[in-house]
Amino acid sequence: MENAMIARIVSFLLISIVIGVAPASGAGQAEIRRHTVMADGHPIALWEKTATGATEAVLLVHGRTWSARPDFDLQVNGEDLSLMDGLVEEGYAVYAVDLRGYGETPRDETGWLTPNRAADDVAIVLEWIAESGEWSIKPHLFGWSMGSTISQLAVQRHPEAAASLTLFGYWRDDDLELPADDPGIEPEMAATTAEAAASDFIVPGAISEAAIDAYVQQALAADPVRVDVRNMDQYNKLDAAHIRIPALIIAGEFDPLAPAVYQAKLFVRIATGHKQYVSVPGGDHAAFLEKPRAYFIHELVGFFRGVTIQ
């Protein structure tokens, strides 16, 4: 499967666009570029911000409801909240993908996103990133919320695709079997809501009201229609014993969607000897956008640097 996938990548199409953005308050904000990577004939939108002289790349995979730019490149006047900008300031080339149906990536003809399809798209994007620069190692892979299980599945299905795996806000109980879909279901194409956009901000005072308002506005603009996901039972194939690359599990202290018991099960079962578990003090499901942002980035970058010197 992997060899066939790599052969298909050779025929990818790349479109690069420089997009003007309002300056952020931080001095290190980089120019953002949009690429299109073809995954089995389907266009995938990929966003890039790169530090001058970067020798390592990171791919960020968003969660269930919102696409790459609201999640990872939130711009708010007077505040530094973008994870992409934060990692650029640490010297990395940072990429963030819009999965099928999200942001600027259209749905495919099925109208659905499935875990296996998303995981294979992530692996194709990782291969494209690996071939696009003179990196010292393969790209690091970071998944948030649903993006964490997609990223784990991508590494399991394509073991050579990434140098490391970071799972943030991991929502799955490793002992729980997810049911198969009912027969005959159709995509709902439901409108997204402001309430849903603000729902990940749980700890009172962890983020400003201005930032929440900006996130809601940017999320609804990027993703006005909720993506329809099916075949969630494909996650039943996840097996931490197949993860043999360096792995970081990171969760907010107060994240109800990623309880510590889930993280502990996963940590124990991951096969690699190079693994870390970080609890972000005061953090919730969106910790990298909130007051613990500096702590979050410090721990994430420390893990990446450990991968480089191992």
Q: What tens digit of pLDDT does each residue of 69-87 get?
A: 999 999 999 999 999 999 9
pLDDT of residue 29: 65
**How far apart are the C-alpha atoms of 52 and 57, rounded to whole Å?**
12
DSSP class of residue 191 equals B
Distance of CA 230 to the CA centre of its chain: 19
pLDDT of residue 310: 66
Beta carbons of 76 and 82 less than 8 angstroms apart: no
- Which residues are within 8 A (CB) of 1 and not within 5 positions of it... i.e. 6 or more apart? 157
pLDDT digits (tens, 9 = 90+) for 10-67: 333 333 334 433 333 344 568 999 999 999 999 999 999 999 999 999 999 999 999 9
pLDDT digits (tens, 9 = 90+) for 109-122: 999 999 999 999 99
Residue 228 has pLDDT above 70, yes or no: yes
- Which residues are within 8 A (CB) of 204 and not within 5 positions of it... i.e. 6 or more apart? none
Strand partners, 142: 60, 166
What predicted TM-score, i.e. pTM, was given to this entire model? 0.92
**How far apart are the C-alpha atoms of 44 and 100, rounded to whole Å?**
7
Other Cβ atoms within 10 Å of 124 Cβ, number: 25
Residue 309 has pLDDT above 80, yes or no: no
**How far apart are the C-alpha atoms of 308 and 219, rounded to whole Å?**
34
pLDDT of residue 48: 98
pLDDT digits (tens, 9 = 90+) for 161-181: 999 999 999 999 999 999 999
**How far apart are the C-alpha atoms of 222 and 218, rounded to whole Å?**
6
Residue 158 has pLDDT above 90, yes or no: yes
- Domain 2-177+188-309, CATH homologous superfamily name and number: Alpha/Beta hydrolase fold, catalytic domain (3.40.50.1820)
